[in-house]
Homo-oligomer: A and B are copies of this chain.
């Protein structure tokens, strides 16, 4: 299995609901350093997993939706705890849609899996990994 990973980041405010979260129930924030790993069994005709330029651009656009935002005020997160692991799945879903839409190039049709890791500090990170294409695609 081949993989290619690209890294970027975004910075958000949010709060959590539930006694489990202790002091993190207050409004605070995080920098998330995001690693997106694209996986496939064989390389494309150019010898690539994915066009790294397109991958980096689509990642930046995807993170731009959330960058410099208060997640508590975004309709799509109403009723949810925007934990690091939850946000990893959110970024995964957005990117999977973009792959399915062809925005990472024709070669990206050969991608079989995607893994998104969000680093919240030097001592904690979370990820979501799943198959492509999306169910129902």
A46 and B69 contacting across the interface, CB-CB below 8 Å = no
> Which applies to chain A's interface (DSSP): helix, strand, loop or mixed?
mixed
Q: How far is the CB of A119 from chain B (nearest CB, A)?
A: 8
Q: Tell me which residues across on chain B come within 8 A of A69, comparing CB atoms.
A: 26, 28
B85 and A31 contacting across the interface, CB-CB below 8 Å = no
- Cα-based distance from A6 to B124 in the complex (angstroms): 5
Q: How many copies does the complex hold?
A: 6
- Cα-based distance from A129 to B68 in the complex (angstroms): 28
- Cα-based distance from A70 to B89 in the complex (angstroms): 26
Give the residue name and chain of the B residue nearest to A43 (CB): B85
Q: How far is the CB of A102 from chain B (nearest CB, A)?
A: 15
A9 and B123 contacting across the interface, CB-CB below 8 Å = yes
Q: Tell me which residues across on chain B come within 8 A of A1, comparing CB atoms.
A: 128-130
Q: Which residues of A contact B (CB under 8 A)?
A: 1-9, 11-14, 16, 18, 20-24, 26-31, 33, 43, 46-49, 51-53, 56, 67-70, 80-86, 88-89, 105, 120-130
